[in-house]
A and B are shown apart, each in its own frame.
Chain A
Amino acid sequence: MRRRLVPYLLILPGGLWLAIFFVVPMVVMLSFSLMEGDVVNGFALTWHWQNYTEGISTYADQLVRSLLYGVLATAACILLAYPAAYWIAFRGGVRKTTYLFLMLLPFFVSFVLRTFSWKFLLADDGIVLGPLKSAGLLPQDFHVIATGFAVVAGLTYNYLPFMVLPIYVALERVDPTMVEAAQDLYAGRAQAFLRVVFPLSLPGVFAGVLMTFVPVSADYVNATVLGGTNNTMIGNIIQNLYLVNSDYPEAAALSFTLMAILLVGIFLYARALGTEDVLEVATR
């Protein structure tokens, strides 16, 4: 009898912490998203669904832009990360871990600081563009900062290690003798890759997408620092409504809309990939 209680005693403190500070807040936010009112007079639950419809129509631009940037940055991450992860996993030899560690170095510098460092590097008359402009290689009004490109590039930069890591882990598990077997069966190098290695690495790509697409689409740091005023994402709106305007109902409705879209997106992607058991992959 006592032994059956052991697992429950073990999960009690942490489980309570998650319940009180993660699950309950989500419920509270859900109720906020259906309220009306303002900070001065208080908020009342009136099942005000218009928070959702008005939020979506008012901020449609930012919602669409967030998803677009999310898809672009995630795709860029896959394209950039895969060849490098492949080389490290199959040709890295004894220095595999060292190469992987070098890829993870950005994790040791604050996310905010790294993003400001890019802003500094790419400033209109900064250390990269300044000399190029004075040498006449670029027109004087050329700029990178305050463009959509800068935001997507910044997002790609910041989340690339999250894509390299799971793809590397998946590729590292591929048994090299499988490739040899394919070649013995007269598969060319390209065919052995496309029909053996690549399919086996898909769970890694999936995990990578899960780890990048969600945070990238909800990010507002890169858009604020690198995007100027014309490339704001939905995260900027949510942050602003919460912390500046204190319009909690609208902000809560937008947060839930964002989360719902991301969840649907991830599940559709999982279906398309044939990885139906998302949880299994994610919690492995």
Chain B
Amino acid sequence: MKATIVDLKPAVRRPRVRWGDRLLYLYTWAIIVWLCLPIAVMIAFGFNDTTGRLNLTWQGFTLKWYGQLFSVPDLTTALVNSLTIAVVATLGSAVLGTLIGLALGKYRFRGQGALNIVQFAAISAPETVMGASLLSFFVQLGVGRGYWTILIAHIMFSLSFVAITVRSRVLTLDPSIDEAARDLGAGGWAVFRLVTLPMIFPAVLAGALLAFALSIDDFIITSFNSGSTLTFPLWIWGAQRNGLPPQVNVMGTLIFVGGILLAAGNAVVARRRR
């Protein structure tokens, strides 16, 4: 008699301790530790009290490298290049990408398929091939490589990411909201500024953050189109032979912390708007 009652309510049964779940839990943490290990080493060796350029063995704790952050002039120039390129490339790709995302999400038009294919190709083509083809193009035109060609490349490879992020947000919007605004007498620009833009803003912000991250981290495409201009990753690449100074670790740490703060801020904004 009792057995039938239990059978009818299987949901009430207390879940047993599942060893599989325990193992998976430990496994997940092991993966996280593995992923964070080189980052922890990078951060730790920014506090290493070394003398001279080599930063290979632990010599004790110091904060002096944070004080002497800008004492390697070329490295500072490279970091400034990376940051200004990332900011301008983010603004550029955010504007261009948002416009494409709006068009793809809101309208049906001829050439849509072709645009999708080009964007898909620009996202999935190997970086080595994209960098090489852009270099071929600049060589053919006789354009010298440097700051501007890096900027052009960065806008090129990040704008599709913004477009896709914005498009998926636009697709979730109810078109009748636009119509309602029009019925209330808003013109095209007013609808965009007062209705559409506030609603897609979280997606624009997310896309822009992605563009910033892609730009500041890019090495492969940049290395093909940089000429003699150095960005932060390119400087590290070149200096590596003689050992990396601790300032590199400090800058890496600051970029890491800044990135996490930006992402957290974005998450907060997204939650508030929901």
Contact = CB atoms under 8 A, between A and B. Distances in A.
B103 A11 contact: yes
Interface stretch (B24-32, B59-67, B68-76): B24-32
Interface string A15-35: 101110111111011001000
A112 interface: yes
A22 B255 contact: no
Interface in A51-104: 80, 83-84, 86-88, 91, 99, 101-103
B24 A279 contact: no
8 contacts: A32-B140, A87-B24, A102-B32, A112-B237, A117-B38, A120-B56, A218-B127, A239-B223
B128 A239 contact: yes
Interface in A219-272: 219-221, 225, 235, 238-239, 242-243, 248, 251-252, 255-256, 258-259, 262
A258 B135 CA distance: 17
B99 interface: yes
B39 A109 contact: yes
Given A110-B232, A279-B117, A91 B24 contact: yes
B219 interface: yes
A116 B242 CA distance: 13
Looking at chain B's contact residues, the main secondary structure is helix
Contacts of B260: 105, 108
B91 interface: no
B137 A25 contact: yes
Looking at chain A's contact residues, the main secondary structure is helix
A127 B59 CA distance: 13
A161 interface: yes
A25 B134 contact: yes
A110 B127 contact: no
Interface string A188-216: 00000000000000000000001100110
Contact of A238 (B28, B115, B128, B240): B128
A239 B139 CA distance: 15
B134 A21 contact: yes
Nearest to A183: B10
A7 B124 contact: no
Given A105-B39, A258-B126, 15 more contacts: A4-B109, A13-B95, A15-B100, A29-B133, A32-B140, A110-B232, A110-B233, A111-B219, A117-B42, A214-B124, A215-B127, A221-B220, A252-B136, A255-B129, A279-B120
A78 B180 CA distance: 48
Nearest to B261: A108
| The 6 residue pairs across chains A and B that have the minimum distance between CB atoms | A218-B126, A117-B38, A14-B96, A25-B137, A108-B259, A10-B103
